[in-house]
Structure 1
Amino acid sequence: MFELKVKASNGRYFGATEIYDTTESLFDFAQKLIDFPKENKKLLYEAGVKDGYAYFFMNFYYIDNTWHIGVEINLEDNVATEFRHEEKDKLKLEIIVEPSSIDNFQRELSQLATTRKGTAIIYGRDNRLDN
């Protein structure tokens, strides 16, 4: 197990959380991203426990014939479960990405799963960090 620090933004909304996952689970997901969406029209990844301590969910889905891909991202912040349910920070957002962005993300994610070091970034059409 290792800790993943996840940050997500679509240019308007931003959230962050820390979750734990295994290198095997992360690497398996990275391998499923190869050539997405040619084989599958939908691909899911999740870590942590929904409505638990912390949670991260990504849903990749095919949008149109121009190869645009939607990525739904759900984050839940690290808040102990004895607190009020309403107090827990949650975020759900969507980014639209190009297949080349998924290819780069897949390579970075595979490297991250293998070495347990580094960063994997998937850029949407208008959420680049260097804007």
Structure 2
Amino acid sequence: MDKAKLKSFLELEIIWKDYDMFELKVTASNGRYFGTTEIYDTTESLLSFSQTLIGFPNDNKTTLHEAGNKDGYAYFSMNFYCIDNVGHIGVEINLEDNVATEFRHEEKDKLKLEIIVEPSAIDNFQKSLSQLATTQKGLAIPYGRDNRLDN
């Protein structure tokens, strides 16, 4: 898909890696708001989170992944939760840009947005997220339901 034509999505891409960690470029859009940040994460952390998405929402009504420190250098979170009985899932995304902590708190860019996805998007995202964490290459993207061809 051409990103310029996408309405809502979350994209995770590894842009640097080392033995014990990697740097993710995280891009998110809900069609109205768009943001990006770069954050450090680990294979173990991302792989563990991807396992919580298997069969989501089953008994879990919410699952959260965080990387970095809120109000620190950089921060990213994605929180998955049920929004109705039809199977639609909300994803709340928080991004904070990399800014050294000696800068003013108000100077730090922050973005919080929500995208709505369908269960099949969660299944596809879980597989690609697991592969991304394991191989440390590629992309993991859950597309919002507004990207369907019938819209």
TM-score, with structure 1 as normaliser: 0.95
Which residues in structure 2 correspond to 1:1-131 (within 5 Å)? 1-126=21-146
Amino acid at match of 2:121: S
* Paired residue secondary structure (1:28): helix
Q: What's the RMSD between the two structures over aligned residues?
A: 1.3
CA distance in 1, matches of 2:60, 2:114: 19
TM-fit CA distance, 1:127: 5.3
CA distance in 2, matches of 1:127, 1:11: 10
* Paired residue secondary structure (2:140): coil
Amino acid at match of 1:11: G
CA distance in 1, matches of 2:107, 2:126: 34
Structure 1 unmatched runs, 5+: none
Task: Report how many aligned residue pairs link the two structures.
Answer: 129
CA distance in 2, matches of 1:76, 1:127: 25
CA distance in 2, matches of 1:31, 1:102: 11
TM-fit CA distance, 1:2: 0.6
* Paired residue secondary structure (1:71): strand
CA distance in 1, matches of 2:106, 2:147: 28
The answer to whether the 8 A contact 1:108-1:119 is kept is yes
Structure 2 unmatched runs, 5+: 1-20
| Identical counterparts, % of pairs | 82
**Which consecutive aligned stretches of 4+ in structure 1 deviate over 3 angstroms post-superposition?**
none
CA distance in 1, matches of 2:136, 2:143: 21
